[in-house]
Amino acid sequence: MKSKKMIFVLAVLLVFALSLAAGCGGGGEEATDGGEKVLKVGVLGPFTGHNARIGEEFKGAVEMAFARVDNKIGDYAVEIVWIDSQSDPEKATRAYEEAVMRDNIDVGLLNWHSSVAVACMDVAAKNQIPHFFTLGATEAVNEKYESNPEYYSYWLKGWATPYKLSGAYVEALSEAMQKGLWEPRNNRVAVYGEDTDWGRSYGASFKNDFESIGWEVVGEEYFTPGETELVPLLYSLRDMDASVIVGSMGSPPSWAAFIKQAQEVGIQSVIIADGLGWVGEWYELTGEASNYILDQIPAWTTPEALQFKEDFESQYGITPSTSGAGIPYDYVCYFIEIAQKTFEEYGELNKENIYQYSQDKVWTGQHTYGEGIIMEDYSFDAESVPDPVVGQGHFIFPVIQYYEGEGKIMWPDVWKEADFMSPAYIQ
């Protein structure tokens, strides 16, 4: 009897030991049943919650990019681990930790929210997971990185901080005034946005931009992410009597409510809605209430971009945006190149080698990506990191004006499709 019990105990211990060995493996070294090695890629995004629509675009873009290489890099099969941020920093960090400890991810990709980025930077750094091309762009990410560049060198942004981009609105409106296309009734601006790192970061940038040309900032209004009852806030903005109201948010339901309710309360200002076009169905959400609104977003212009958009709609049944699907697609393709070069140089894909290649070649500007469908060139250098290089031919967004479901580029002149139209609702 004792011998049978002993055999049973030994068998249990052996199974336990084997399971531990599998669970504590190096991720990139784990083999499938067919002997193929696996690279586990954690994709961080809002796959549930009030920004789940953006998460749908993320998923489609990621799947389409990896499908180009048949989900294989070198002799490694790519396994995607979806990390659901739920648009909540605390939930995102728990999900990220789980992806590291339970799923053994080797590398991280993407992210939407700035507040989530700030929180998850610590998880990536602690576990030494190189995380590429996050779209959470608040200055708080840069400040955290600069507080300890070596520790936070695992986090690379894919979207530049607001102050590097937001000034384009002032340039576009100044040009419209110079050409006599618009005469503001006063030099007053009001700021609004979601009460997040992103919303307040952009709000601060907008204030600086308009103050730099001598305008007065007459007020700021921020609200809970996902909020859809915005009439009181809009009445407050209307009563500030500003020629321009400007802000940013990342929630499609909030945008729909804001734009429609702005029309209802009779806003008499030029409206800058930075990020309205981040979701492909922005016009279905807002209708003609979006007429004359300004945004800053790239367009589907190249044949490759238009083909991607068509393929995406056919495969997933939703209309992609350049920000939610196009740019993430480009960045995943960029990562695939990085991983392939890492494999060629080291013969092995793991987090250490991917991190080292990135530090040596990507962060120094030696490995750039010029095959994207949205931007001409995606690159980084010692001056820009953790941001991408910003400027003509690099990471840059044109200013567009919406009218009847289309966004026409009004700035810069080199891309101009139409002149600024003064809103018909301004008396």
Is the domain of 154 the same as that of 178?
Answer: no
Residue 236, domain extent: 164-298+397-415
| pLDDT attached to residue 149 | 98
The predicted-structure confidence for 208-223, as pLDDT tens digits, reads as follows: 999 999 999 999 999 9
| pLDDT attached to residue 28 | 59
The pLDDT of residue 415 is above 50:
yes
Is the domain of 74 the same as that of 150?
Answer: yes
The pLDDT of residue 5 is above 90:
no
Q: Which of 332, 304, 313, 324 is nearest to 65 (CA)?
A: 332
Residue 278 in contact with residue 323, Cβ under 8 Å? yes
State percent of the chain over pLDDT 70.
92
Is the domain of 171 the same as that of 269?
Answer: yes
Is the domain of 178 the same as that of 137?
Answer: no
The predicted-structure confidence for 317-361, as pLDDT tens digits, reads as follows: 999 999 999 999 999 999 999 999 999 999 999 999 999 999 999
Q: How far is CA 364 from CA 121, 125, 142, 157, 292, in A?
A: 21, 20, 17, 14, 41
| pLDDT attached to residue 74 | 96
> How confident is residue 366, by pLDDT bands cut at 50, 70 and 90?
very high
Is the domain of 269 the same as that of 411?
Answer: yes
In a domain, 270, yes or no: yes
Is the domain of 344 the same as that of 233?
Answer: no
Overall domain count for the chain: 2
In a domain, 196, yes or no: yes
Bridge pairing between strands 131-134 and 155-157: parallel
The predicted-structure confidence for 17-67, as pLDDT tens digits, reads as follows: 434 333 333 445 555 555 679 999 999 999 999 899 999 999 999 999 999
| pTM attached to this predicted model | 0.87
Local structure of residue 389 (DSSP, 8 states): P
Q: Which of 292, 220, 287 is nearest to 255 (CA)?
A: 287
The predicted-structure confidence for 122-172, as pLDDT tens digits, reads as follows: 999 999 999 999 999 999 999 999 999 999 999 999 999 999 999 999 999
Residue 300 in contact with residue 323, Cβ under 8 Å? no
Residue 278 backbone dihedrals phi, psi, to 5 degrees? -70, -20
CA 52, 54, 56, 58 torsion-angle sign? negative
Element (H, E) at 171: helix 167-178
When the pLDDT of each residue in the chain is averaged and rounded to a whole number, the result is 92
